[in-house]
Amino acid sequence: MILGQVVGTVVSTRKDSGLSGLKLLVVRELDDAMKPTGHLVVSADAVGAGRDEVVLVAAGSSARLTEATKDKPVDSVIVGIVDLVQEHGKSVYDKSVHQQSATSGAAS
C-alpha cells in the first residue's frame, strides 16, 4: 500500500459505465517522512476521504477487491483514512495535530 494525501478531485462526464457512481480523487504520494514525492495518481474513493486527508492507497489488482470497486476498471483505490503514523516509536503524522494546526491557521 501507499501513503498519500488527497489534493484534488476528478470530474468526468464521459466514462466507462463501470466508473459510474465512483468518486475519483487525485492523491499525491508521500515518502516515509510524510513529504510529497511528486507522484500523482487518480484513485477511486472507497471510504469517503476528503481534501488534504492522508490516506492509504491500494494499487494494481488489489484495487478491485473492495466492495466499491469489485469488477470495476480501476487500478488505484483509497482504502483508509490515516489517523496516526509512527516510525521507531515516534509520531511522524498525527491527524488530530494536523487538523488543529489547519484550523488555527484558518482562523488567523
Sorted by where each begins, the domain ranges of the chain are 2-83
pLDDT score, position 95? 92
CATH class of 2-83: mainly beta
pLDDT score, position 102? 64
Q: Say if residue 108's pLDDT is above 80.
A: no
Q: Say if residue 100's pLDDT is above 80.
A: no
- C-alpha cell recorded at residue 71: 469488477
Beta strands at 54-59 and 2-10: parallel, antiparallel or unpaired: antiparallel
Name the nearest CA neighbour of 78 among 52, 53, 55, 50.
55
**CB 23 within 8 Å of CB 6:** no
- Mean pLDDT across the stretch 15-33? 93
Q: What is the pTM of this model?
A: 0.87
Residues constituting the chain: 108
